[in-house]
Structure 1
Amino acid sequence: MPYRIDHLVISAADLQQGKEWAEGLLDVEFGPRGVHPDMGTQNHLVAMRPDAYLEVIAADHDALRPDYPRWFDLDNFGGPPRLTHWVVSCPDLEEAWELAPANVGRILSFRRGDYAWRMIVPETGILPFDDCFPALIEWHSTRPVHALADAGLLMRRLKISHPEPDALRAALSPFVAAMEHVRIVQSDTPGLTAEISTPSGEIWIA
Structure 2
Amino acid sequence: MKLDHFAWSAPSLDDAVDVVEAWSGVRAAPGGSHPGMGTRNALLSLADGLYLAIDAPDPDQPLIGNGARMAAQPGYHLDLFVVSTDDIHAAKAVLENFGLSAEIRAGSRRTLRGEMLEWRYLAVEPTRFGIALPLVSQWDTPNHPSAEAPKGCSLERFVVAHPLCDEIRPLYEALGLDIPVVLAERPELRVTLRGRHGAFDLPSHAV
TM-score (norm 2): 0.82
**Alignment correspondent of 2:197:** 200
Deviations 1:6-41 (A, max 9, x none): 001112122222222222222210011511013222
Q: SS at 1:64's partner residue?
A: coil
Residue 119 (1) aligns with residue 121 (2): yes
Give the 5 Å matches for 1:70-89: 70=66, 74=69, 78-89=73-84
Kindly state the Cα deviation for residue 105 of structure 1 after the two structures are TM-superposed: 4.1
CA contact (8 A) 2:191 2:202 kept: yes
Identity among equivalent positions (%) equals 24
Distance, in Å, in 1 between the alignment partners of 2:36 and 2:127 is 19
Q: Which runs of 5+ in 2 are unaligned?
A: none
Cα RMSD, aligned residues only: 2.5
Structure 1: unaligned runs, 5 residues or longer: none
- Determine the structure 1 residue equivalent to 2:56: 58
Pairwise CA distance, 1:91: 0.6
* Aligned: 1:130 with 2:113: no
Are 2:18 and 1:17 equivalent residues in the alignment? Answer: no
Q: Kindly provide the CA deviation profile for residues 32-71 of structure 1, in whole angstroms up to 9, marking residues without a partner as x.
A: 15110132221111101243100111233652356xx549
Q: Any idea what SS the aligned residue of 1:32 has? A: strand
SS at match of 2:90: helix
2:56–2:70 Cα contact (<8 Å) kept? no
Instruction: Tell me the distance in 2 between the aligned counterparts of 1:76 and 1:57.
Output: 11
Q: Structure 2 CA distance, aligned partners of 1:76 and 1:188?
A: 28
Match 1:47 to one of 45, 48, 51: 45
Query: TM-score, with normalisation over the residues of structure 1?
Result: 0.82
144 and 50 in structure 1: CA distance in 2 versus 1, 3 angstrom threshold: closer
